[in-house]
Structure 1
């Protein structure tokens, strides 16, 4: 009665609706706060960056890197060169653990060393001393065991997050729904059917949301928990900070090598697109002058890859003779044979007379000489344009092209064979940039097997081909397997010298976003990616102009394998 007298119905209704919305907002804010608290990403909740399945110790000096892994009561020690990461297998090793006496480590077949642990697995941090005597020098490394990190069960973390987030939100929705139910009863007693209907709808919505979230929470609780991403393992993996963890046994398996970055001053290179060609002075082609039908020799037709010497018979060509020429030859042969018959008759008449001394013997001799000349003329005319044309090799080398088959009819000046000397090859490149007419500082190319090819500058053409200058280089020592016509990237060093860190070309790889990176060996079992800016030097090296400091250890072998670790 007092409420009805002090507050008008409209103002009371508005106050009730505002109170309901304030209550719902309050509980939703509390639930969000609890939900954020349940997914806290503070440092206290983070697991160790590197968690190993076994206790280990890692030490590093200017000479050596040492990693010891404790497993089954034995300490496996891996010794590597601190600069090149090359395994050291000729060392004499003594290990001192805590206050115990020094232990002589024995060498294994895989190049590692094994030392027994007298007091079992250390429970905490214990100081370990490595005394190394090897060909690279003697050294003493001291460090402490890294105890094995304990991984928190994933199911427990999942249940804790659900309790702190989903249950608080369900409670907030339930309380908000209860507030709107009370508001529905108030409006219904006052006879406000429209406001009561709206309150009922909102209350039902909150109840349905609470029921849905409660059902999802029960379902997630019954499903298996996702695996823990920080499970203990010595397998190579990409860590949260972008670095890569690779245990020493894995590094030996991948044959990982490093090098210290040292500054140099060198001429940068210009990249040209080239191809391998035969030395013009040591190659030749074989053609037929008249054309005709191919007749193989006694050893058959030479094939590609066959070695030939200068003057070797390759094939014979039976020339084609037209009918008119055949008729002319037959007429000429008949005329010569007629003269031969007349001369033979005269010779038969004069020989008896010469024997009796009636005629001089000189006339008989003249007729005999004339008869021999007529016989020779007949053979020459018969063989005219009917003899075989012999095609022989003009230079020493191997046959790189053969376009003939037995019985094939060839046209005059068709290229039948190409011969080249594989020990004398050139490279012809197109230069779209101005490299000048003078000899460059150096020129190199890369062979298919990765071998660097040294080139010798021959000359530059003053005539353009495809809007580019033609540059030719000689290969003083061609590698095996280099084929004529094979494309090559030619690196020509020219221009002003620049300073930087010179590293092998295969030390630079592409990251996931496409930028050039190198991998630094920052710890015995840790590799860090570093973006760099590079300038080409030759076919095997580049200049790191920015991104790496002097003295840092860069991965130079196995870079692609480390870059693929995820």
Structure 2
């Protein structure tokens, strides 16, 4: 009876110890994740702007890197005479690097703020730049290893006391050392189990990584939509700017047009009779090959039916016989010269000459090939001839098309007859962005589909263009307008799909400006609203800046 009681008591005691609340490491509303790691230390940077030069100085790994760019165009100042004075000390000349920047040893820059005076002198630029370089203290790295939180001493003391009392009671009841030892082991295991930290409650975690921090010297888009682009990245992207100035231009209109060949410098080659195509010596010309006027491009061998060929052969044989007889008659009369009348000799000569001409007229039909010659000098634009190709009397195939690329025209249509009569300049832009300078040849008096046809001659920039290429024609009128003229590449599409330009507001900061514009010609646009004069507008690399996120 007593033994059964002791077993039941030991089981109940063990269950009570296991039911003790364990110490948790994360309380309600908290987690035991390590504190977020500190982001990378900011790179000490100095920005200064002079009248002609813009300066960005970056302190990295004990070296001071100087970026000097022209203020108006953002072009690097290369090969300049540069001197640097730090905190009023002696002037030091930095080393010029291949990328256009300048390097200066600066391992002693440990203080919080340093005054820099930079002098720049080159052929057409001379400037003095002054600024302060702040060197912040580096943040200490946070410890990633966090020891588990041990239970508080009051709870441990209470658990130990309860275990000791229970162990004493068991030992008294059991009266055996083995039972006391077993009870002590169970007590020690329960206490150790209670001291282990529990997992976080629902809604909490033990995250082991802090938030990812962006590098401070990487290009990025700011919350206000502006861009931070380091000078190093600007040079990689080739960013260039121009000052925004109000200028006077001519009002322009956009027309739809296409490139056509000059009819006086182009031609088509077709067969004039039924026959078979044969290649000349050197082979048939291919597309892109240059040919000269009068050059033989191919031959046409006349195609004659067997019956017709037999009839012609019979006629040729009869003519040959008559020629032999006529020649004999002429020889006989010639030997009797002085005896016979001269009239008979002349008649014999005329008969022989007529027979020879008759044979010559029939011979090409059986033997001679018709040469196909180039009507003009130029480039083969189309070739549709192969050896052995048969041309019949109903075939109007153009075997060769020749175009002179130096003499092209542009045909456009204008739906406003008034604007068609007021054209002082014109340009055309193709799909590849090439700009063609045009000169007006004439305006058609008859409308074509309610539009006035216009014809222009390509005066410059037509290299590589082909007849049939669609183009956008910009015609300028004599009406003057005022506005900010920018290159066409300066206007890009913003995130909302609206046209924007990028203004260079500080050495490493760009802000978008939504604008309204109209084309002036194939290479420039007129900003009508959304942009104030005086700013520096990105003209090269604007599309790449739009991709910065």
TM-score normalised by structure 2 residue count: 0.75
SS at match of 2:453: strand
Q: Matches of 2:529 and 2:349 in 1, distance apart?
A: 95
Is the CA contact 1:248–1:525 (under 8 Å) kept in the aligned structure 2?
yes
Is the CA contact 2:322–2:355 (under 8 Å) kept in the aligned structure 1?
no
Are 1:227 and 2:207 matched, yes or no?
A: no
SS at match of 2:444: strand
Are 1:409 and 2:390 matched, yes or no?
A: yes
- 1:215 deviation in Å? 3.3
Choose which of 86, 98, 101 in structure 1 pairs with 2:87. Answer: 98
Choose which of 204, 207, 232 in structure 2 pairs with 1:218. Answer: 204
- 1:351 deviation in Å? 8.2
1:136 maps to what in 2? 124
- 1:104 deviation in Å? 2.5
SS at match of 1:249: helix
- 1:140 deviation in Å? 1.7
Q: Matches of 2:355 and 2:283 in 1, distance apart?
A: 35
| Alignment CA distance shift 1:125-1:296 (3 Å) | same
1:31 maps to what in 2? none
1:145 maps to what in 2? 133
| Alignment CA distance shift 1:327-1:224 (3 Å) | same
Q: Matches of 2:294 and 2:227 in 1, distance apart?
A: 64
- Write the deviation string for residues 48-72 of structure 1: whole angstroms up to 9, x where unpaired: 9xx9742110001221100101112
Is the CA contact 1:443–1:454 (under 8 Å) kept in the aligned structure 2?
yes
- 1:391 deviation in Å? 1.7
Q: Matches of 1:550 and 1:155 in 2, distance apart?
A: 53
| Alignment CA distance shift 1:371-1:498 (3 Å) | closer
Gap regions ≥5 residues in structure 1: 1-33, 36-46, 160-213
Q: Matches of 2:334 and 2:451 in 1, distance apart?
A: 83
Are 1:398 and 2:383 matched, yes or no?
A: no
- 1:447 deviation in Å? 5.1
- Write the deviation string for residues 426-450 of structure 1: whole angstroms up to 9, x where unpaired: 1112334445442512111235664
502-511 or 265-274, which moves further after superposition?
Answer: 265-274
Q: Matches of 2:125 and 2:353 in 1, distance apart?
A: 96
Are 1:246 and 2:240 matched, yes or no?
A: no
Q: Matches of 1:323 and 1:442 in 2, distance apart?
A: 64
SS at match of 2:90: coil
Choose which of 499, 505, 527 in structure 2 pairs with 1:544. Answer: 527
Q: Matches of 2:345 and 2:351 in 1, distance apart?
A: 10
SS at match of 1:126: strand
- Write the deviation string for residues 504-561 of structure 1: whole angstroms up to 9, x where unpaired: 1100111111011110100001111111111111111111111111110001111111
SS at match of 2:399: strand
Aligned CA-pair RMSD: 3.3
Q: Matches of 1:304 and 1:401 in 2, distance apart?
A: 6
- Write the deviation string for residues 20-53 of structure 1: whole angstroms up to 9, x where unpaired: xxxxxxxxxxxxxx99xxxxxxxxxxx99xx974
SS at match of 2:467: coil
Gap regions ≥5 residues in structure 2: 1-28, 31-37, 147-199
- 1:339 deviation in Å? 4.4
1:259 maps to what in 2? 242
2:365 maps to what in 1? 385
Q: Matches of 1:345 and 1:251 in 2, distance apart?
A: 98
Is the CA contact 2:436–2:459 (under 8 Å) kept in the aligned structure 1?
no
- Write the deviation string for residues 148-182 of structure 1: whole angstroms up to 9, x where unpaired: 597899999xx9xxxxxxxxxxxxxxxxxxxxxxx
Q: Matches of 1:346 and 1:104 in 2, distance apart?
A: 111
Are 1:75 and 2:58 matched, yes or no?
A: no
Q: Matches of 2:383 and 2:286 in 1, distance apart?
A: 6
Choose which of 337, 353, 361 in structure 2 pairs with 1:373. Answer: 353
SS at match of 1:253: helix
Q: Matches of 1:341 and 1:542 in 2, distance apart?
A: 84
Q: Matches of 1:339 and 1:115 in 2, distance apart?
A: 107
Q: Matches of 1:284 and 1:434 in 2, distance apart?
A: 32
Are 1:494 and 2:483 matched, yes or no?
A: no
Is the CA contact 2:514–2:530 (under 8 Å) kept in the aligned structure 1?
yes
- 1:93 deviation in Å? 1.9
SS at match of 1:241: coil
| Alignment CA distance shift 1:425-1:151 (3 Å) | farther
Is the CA contact 2:48–2:129 (under 8 Å) kept in the aligned structure 1?
yes
Is the CA contact 1:269–1:492 (under 8 Å) kept in the aligned structure 2?
yes
SS at match of 1:267: strand
Is the CA contact 1:395–1:419 (under 8 Å) kept in the aligned structure 2?
yes
- 1:84 deviation in Å? 0.5
| Alignment CA distance shift 1:432-1:226 (3 Å) | farther
- 1:467 deviation in Å? 4.5
Q: Matches of 1:380 and 1:466 in 2, distance apart?
A: 54
Equivalences for residues 158-557 of structure 1 within 5 A: 215-219=201-205, 221-222=206-207, 224-228=209-213, 231-322=214-305, 325-326=308-309, 329-330=312-313, 332-333=315-316, 335-337=318-320, 339-340=322-323, 343=326, 354=336, 360=340, 362=342, 365-366=345-346, 368-369=348-349, 372-373=352-353, 375-383=355-363, 385-386=365-366, 387-412=368-393, 413-434=396-417, 436-438=419-421, 440-446=423-429, 450-494=433-477, 496-557=479-540
| Alignment CA distance shift 1:498-1:351 (3 Å) | closer
| Alignment CA distance shift 1:152-1:281 (3 Å) | farther
Is the CA contact 2:326–2:352 (under 8 Å) kept in the aligned structure 1?
no
Is the CA contact 2:334–2:345 (under 8 Å) kept in the aligned structure 1?
no
TM-score normalised by structure 1 residue count: 0.73
- 1:388 deviation in Å? 2.1
Is the CA contact 1:443–1:456 (under 8 Å) kept in the aligned structure 2?
yes
Q: Matches of 1:363 and 1:428 in 2, distance apart?
A: 67
Is the CA contact 1:437–1:459 (under 8 Å) kept in the aligned structure 2?
no
